[in-house]
């Protein structure tokens, strides 16, 4: 953990809050792409777009992997990034993603609904109106029910080795190393899935269905660092 914290500060030359902003948004990117991998490799039937399903999976997975205090910080940082991106967004009615502001609102809604007994104050501070609280709790219950049998089926056995395999190096992979380890202890993907950091020409991340490969773009790491510095 000391090495991780040192690397964050050295990479960002910024405050701990800025360093955490980068890490938390990288975490949610990793969990979202893991959602795509699970959907593909476990043949999960969908009732929504795959992007929306992967968003829900990412929040559920984060809630299983992180403490309540960590989840509070994660949703704050996801909201900050989501609102920045929504402000610069050009609306595309054919996009697979829901509009950015709505996507961020849904993240807050599901995060609240996964533990409504003690997340109400922060949810309201993040803009969630009280009248949607019951709907958000019901949506989170549906999310849990939908993914529970899939996650149970993918639970690793003692004989399983890590299926999400880091290849190469990069700041993002160093920062995410503990989270990747926790993922491999929770989920055994049906097929070996390499995770790399590459130059993509855009601020993004991908799971490639044709060869079971997961990529975090160098440009995403750089963009998060710029966003973190802008908040100092």
- Spell out the domain ranges in the chain: 2-230
Predicted pLDDT of residue 16: 81
Predicted pLDDT of residue 12: 47
Angle (CA) 201-53-83 rounded to 5° is 60
Residues 6+ apart with CB under 8 A from 210: none
**Phi-psi category of residue 43: left, alpha or beta, with phi > 0 → left and psi -120 to 50 → alpha:** left
Predicted pLDDT of residue 52: 96
Predicted pLDDT of residue 232: 65
Q: Sheet holding 205-208: strands in order across? A: 164-166, 193-198, 213-217, 205-208
Which of 81-89's residues contact partners 24+ apart within 8 Å by CB, and which partners? 81/21, 81/25, 81/224, 81/227, 82/107, 84/227
Angle (CA) 179-214-95 rounded to 5° is 110
Predicted pLDDT of residue 11: 52
DSSP E strand stretches across the chain: 164-166, 193-198, 205-208, 213-217
Parts of the chain with a pLDDT under 50: 1-9, 12
> What is the phi/psi pair of residue 122, to 5°?
-70, -40
147-171: string of b/e by CB count within 10 Å (b at 16+)? beeebeebeeeeeeebbbebeeeeb
Note the residue count of the chain.
Answer: 232
CA dihedral 153, 156, 158, 159 (to 10 degrees): 90
Cβ proximity of 164 and 12 under 8 Å: no
pTM: 0.91
Strand 193-198 relative to strand 164-166: parallel, antiparallel, unpaired?
parallel
Predicted pLDDT of residue 5: 47
């Amino acid at each position: 953990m000391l090495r991780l914290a040192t690397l964050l500060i050295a990479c960002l030359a910024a405050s701990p809050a800025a360093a955490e902003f980068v890490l938390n948004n990288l975490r949610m990117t990793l969990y979202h792409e893991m959602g795509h991998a699970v959907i593909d490799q476990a043949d999960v039937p969908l009732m929504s777009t795959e992007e929306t399903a992967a968003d829900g999976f990412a929040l559920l997975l984060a809630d299983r992997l992180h403490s309540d205090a960590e989840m509070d910080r994660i949703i704050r940082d996801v909201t900050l990034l989501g609102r920045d991106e929504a402000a610069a967004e050009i609306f595309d009615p054919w996009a697979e993603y829901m509009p950015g502001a709505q996507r961020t609102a849904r993240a807050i809604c599901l995060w609240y609904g996964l533990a409504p007994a003690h997340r109400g104050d922060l949810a309201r501070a993040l803009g969630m109106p009280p009248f949607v609280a019951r709907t958000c709790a019901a949506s989170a219950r549906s999310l849990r029910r939908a993914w529970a049998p899939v996650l149970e089926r993918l639970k690793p056995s003692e004989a399983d080795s890590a299926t999400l395999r880091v290849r190469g190096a990069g700041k993002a992979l160093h920062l995410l190393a503990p989270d990747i380890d926790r993922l491999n202890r929770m989920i055994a993907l049906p097929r070996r899935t390499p995770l790399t950091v590459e130059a993509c020409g855009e601020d993004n991340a991908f799971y490639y269905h044709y060869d079971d490969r997961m990529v975090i773009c160098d440009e995403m790491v750089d963009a998060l660092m710029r966003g973190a510095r802008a908040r100092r």
